[in-house]
Structure 1
Amino acid sequence: MKQPDTTAGAPAGTPLRGQLGQVLLATVASTVGFWAWMLIAPLQKTYATEMGLDEGQISLMLATPVLVGALGRILTGALTDRFGGRRMFAAVLLLSVPAVLLVALAGELKSFPLLIGAGFYLGVAGTIFAVGVPFSSAWYEPSRRGFATGVFGMGMIGTAVSAFLTPRLAESIGYLPTHLLVAGVMVVMALLVWFFLRDSPVWEPSRQALVPKVVGALKLRITWEMAFLYGIVFGGFVAFSTFLPKYLTTIYPDDVDPVGAGTRTALFAAAAVVARPIGGALSDRVGPKIISLISLAGIVSLAYVVGQQPPEGILTGITFIAMAAAMGLGMGAVFAWVGPSTPKDKVGAVTGVVAAAGGLGGYFPPLVMGATYNAETNSYALGLWLLVIVGAFALVVAGMLRDARPAGSAKAAPDSA
């Protein structure tokens, strides 16, 4: 099947100078957004203790920002097609600042209902990802868009920053000052974006109405295929980044304290961040399908190992880091698959839907883990077995899809789709 033209409308020979710098600045902005989005999870034990929360309430608290961050990406992605990345990056960062302050207020008042409401609002910060993929794609030719989106995807290091810094800052400077600091960083980042970020010279704003644009994206087969795969790879990453501190302090209470759990979660996120651009670059070279298959096979096998609940130590650490790396490869591969398979005027909308699916994939696992936790055996094995089963099904689905090679790739297949 012939590839859709994703570069139509770009002036011939338009120079793309400073492209890497622009994508890196967008990556830093995304890092700040992810830090805010994941602000609740590193302090979950503090909230649970001070508010007397049970397993279900903890799971709801952790999952709420993920849900809004997921669904909001559909709107954010479509708006990016119309207004561009510079405006949308600044808007998402500034709109999320009050959410951070509300989380701080909820913690100070020890109010669980307010914390849930603030977490709902905090999900706005998580929509920042849907801004960066179309922004980054527009800065690179089709044959290098896997690399571009992979580099931008490294902004999810914000989950590691949050896991590592937030509990340490809360211990050293206090709970409220920590949240004020994060809010201040977001304002500064929004100003940097506004004054220094610029949209690609080949980017053209879409004039299509929002609802028809989203509906049009939903009519594309590639949207649903990639949404399913991304729901596994990114959803798994978000779920573990959110729930891992809770998991480690519950399964290994004598070996892991909240700060140690934050460190391990930061390493988990860092491994995925490093692997993501590698997955994108390898997909540009050999095609995203084979990288996706490697990713899913790794997730399935490593989730099985985690489900055996090995003793805390080197084996556990290696297993979680390897699982994160497998997820990172898959994330890079999926958006390398989206780029050459999507019409230019629908990249933002398709990105928003696929990114939303990834966020939704991260919303349900914490709830499932909380619901399937066996207090008698102190085990989350049932929830992990569900990941194994779903991942195995995704592996089969990915194997049945046609590969997609970027236009201009030396190995591009004429019938790829």
Structure 2
Amino acid sequence: MLSDLWSLQGRYRTLHLTWFAFFLTFVVWFNLAPLATTIKADFGLSVPQIRTLAICNVALTVPARILIGMLLDKFGPRITYSTLLVFAAIPCLMFSAAQDFSQLVVARLLLSIVGAGFVIGIRMVAEWFPPKEIGLAEGVYGGWGNFGSAFSALTMVIVAGWLSFSGGFELPTGEILNWRGAIALTGVISAVYGFIYYANITDTPPGKAYQKPAKSAGLEVTSLRDFWGLLGMNVPFAVILAVLVWRLQKVKFLDATGYTIGMVLVLIWFAFQTWGIVRTNRDLILGNKTYSKEDRYEFKQVAILELTYIVNFGSELAVVSMLPAFFESTFDLPKATAGILASCYAFVNLVARPGGGLISDRMGSRKNTMGFLTVGLGFGYLVMSMIKPGAFTGTAGIAIAVLLTMACSFFVQAGEGATFAMVPLVKKRVTGQIAGMVGAYGNVGAVAYLTIFSLLPVWMGGDSAEPSAEIVAASNSAFFQILGIAGLVVGLLCYFFLREPKGSFADEHADEVSLARV
């Protein structure tokens, strides 16, 4: 497959068109972080407010990935991806036109839906590639698309400066940045590509039928024990949305009435989700339906993959959101320089995520690959916790800090590749929903991590509005330690409880009769 990767024919053409769609959704999704300090100054926002915007940036991705997983299995990736790309322009234009903090929050919440696009390509790639190549194919899709976050970090400040001929916000240095024009531009480009994608893609190779579940209101499971496990694993989705509502109330975006309404909406969402699961599995619950041994799968596999995605992709989202400001404050660097250095974390995605998928394809054990990379992630973050003001000085010190960051990033993103080398192999006909749930857990992790990050300065005795530089540095170190310990715990769970999927290295997916060759 490596020799054919640069081909623009057949399944490789589909792969390239799809990873670029994912790339654009990530450019849109992460267009806030490089300009965060400029927007903070323009609106006079406090530290808790700008960190709340970072939480909002990943909040609705949690329910969106679940809903899009359902829509994906029902309507196919072509329509679903194209629609999402066009939709991205709306919240981008809203954010660029915002005049106060409330409008920023609303636009950012809507923008968080765009982060659900990743799930769609997982099913598209799984339709076009066999199990023995799925790791590398999904890794290329995820890794090259994920580079969109690094591209934002590298270019958003530059584009904002280039657009300053039409006006913008003046920094204390005298530099003018048109951050509004830069963010609006990302949405317009995404919408244009949505039409291009729709016109140049098909859901499956020629001669292959698109498999759909009989019901898509909730994930189909194959045993009563798995049904109860599925219900239990849906609780964190409601909990994390409740945390978001609480945070919005703490920064005074919601008053007492708004807080109550928000909590009621979370309960309605949880009830809707639970009812969908019950309705989909009604015959199984009543004992009217049993699954043959060949048609069963263990939901435990999905649950552990959800946990791995919390610690790898969840931590990546959190770290990418705070890393530009982290480098800026730790090394006292200009915004543009800090953004370039921070982009090194996501830049590794170009090789790390495909590398993780390739290792999973070649090592002969997807389970052991998953465990090794997750434990490595844990140690990587513990090492990053040692990057503090004064610990690494001068150009050489900054270079060492960047190398440590990139080394940690390799394990994080290779782990993501290994996770989605397994997801399409669990149960083909519900791949969209499984990918949606696993992907949503990544955002559960991101919201949880970012909430902890926003509260750490207060927990460590700092001022709630403007903590001192010493408190900020200590909270950053503690944050990386939390990420590291979580990674080590989940890595051990992989070794003890994760199982190798059936047909991990076969020429066809387990529940397919044949696979079209293109």
Are residue 193 (structure 1) and residue 197 (structure 2) matched? yes
1:27 maps to what in 2?
Answer: 19
Query: Are 1:399 and 2:488 matched, yes or no?
Result: no
Paired residue for 2:354, among 268, 277, 281?
A: 277
Equivalent position of 1:358 in the other structure:
442
Which protein is bigger by CA-based radius of gyration? 2
- CA, structure 1 residues 91+38, in 2 after alignment: closer, same or farther (shift >3 Å)? same
Larger RCO (CA under 8 A, 6+ residues apart): 1
The 2-side partners of 1:240 and 1:89 are apart by: 26
Report deviation, 1:290. Answer: 2.5
1:11-90 maps to which residues of 2 (within 5 A)? 18-90=10-82
Say whether the 8 Å CA contact 1:96–1:125 is kept in structure 2.
Answer: yes
Q: CA deviation at 1:138?
A: 0.8
Q: For the residues of structure 2 that align with 1:148 and 1:45, how far apart are their CA atoms?
A: 37
Judge conservation of contact 1:77–1:348 (CA < 8 Å) in 2.
yes
The answer to whether the aligner puts 1:134 opposite 2:212 as a matched pair is no
Whole-angstrom CA distance in 2 between matches of 1:242 and 1:186: 21
| CA 200–392 in structure 1, closer or farther in 2 if over 3 Å, else same | same
2:489 partner letter: F
Q: Structure 2-normalised TM-score?
A: 0.72
Structure 1 equivalent of residue 214 of structure 2: 208
Work out the CA distance in 1 between the residues paired with 2:481 and 2:213. 46
Partner of 2:465: none
- Secondary structure of 2:55's match? helix
1:285 to partner: Cα distance: 1.7
Q: In structure 2, how many angstroms separate the alpha carbons of the residues matched to 1:261 and 1:67? A: 25
Counterparts of residues 160-239 of structure 1 (less than 5 Å): 160-173=150-163, 174-201=178-205, 202-206=208-212, 208-213=214-219, 218=230, 220-239=299-318
Aligned-pair CA distance for 1:406: 6.2
Matched residues in 1 for 2:338 and 2:181: separation?
22
Question: How far did 1:83 drift?
Answer: 0.9
Overall identity of the aligned pairs, in %: 24
Deviation at 1:222, TM superposition (A): 1.7
Contact 1:78 1:214 in 2 (8 A): no
Is the CA contact (8 Å cut-off) linking 1:138 and 1:203 kept in structure 2? no
Given the alignment, which residue of 394, 397, 405 partners 1:320? 405
Cα offset, 1:71, TM superposition: 2.7
Q: CA RMSD in A?
A: 2.0
> What amino acid maps onto 1:242 in structure 2?
S
In 2 relative to 1, CA 199–49 (structure 1 residues): closer, same or farther, beyond 3 Å? same
Structure 1 residues 321-372: Cα deviation after superposition (integer angstroms, max 9, x where no partner): 11111111100111112222x2211111000000000122122222212211
SS of aligned partner of 1:208: coil
Deviation (angstroms), 1:241: 1.1
For the 8 Å contact 2:301–2:499, the answer to whether it is kept is no
Q: Displacement, 1:214? A: 6.4
TM-score (normalised: structure 1)? 0.88
Q: Say if 2:213 and 2:429, in contact at 8 Å, map to a contact too.
A: no
Deviation at 1:203, TM superposition (A): 4.5
CA distance, structure 1, for counterparts of residue 68 and residue 303 of structure 2: 18
Q: Is this contact kept in 2: 1:284–1:406, CA < 8 A? A: no
**Structure 2 unaligned residues grouped into runs of 5+:** 1-8, 164-177, 232-298, 461-467, 508-518
The equivalent of 1:243 in structure 2 is: 322
**Which of 431, 446, 453 pairs up with 1:369?**
453
Shift of 1:279: 0.7
One-letter amino acid of the counterpart of residue 485, structure 2: I
AA partner of residue 189 (structure 2):
V
1:74/1:214 contact within 8 Å kept: no
Alignment length, in residue pairs?
389
Q: Which residue of 2 aligns with 1:294?
A: 372
Per mean C-alpha deviation after superposition, the further-off stretch among 308-317 and 91-100 is: 308-317
User: Contact 2:70–2:218 (CA<8 Å) still a contact in 1?
Assistant: no
Aligned positions of 1:79-158 closer than 5 A = 79-106=71-98, 109=99, 111-154=100-143, 155-158=145-148
Question: Which letter maps to 1:296?
Answer: T
Deviations 1:11-30 (A, max 9, x none): xxxxxx70011011000000
Q: Is the 8 A contact 1:150 1:281 kept in 2?
A: yes
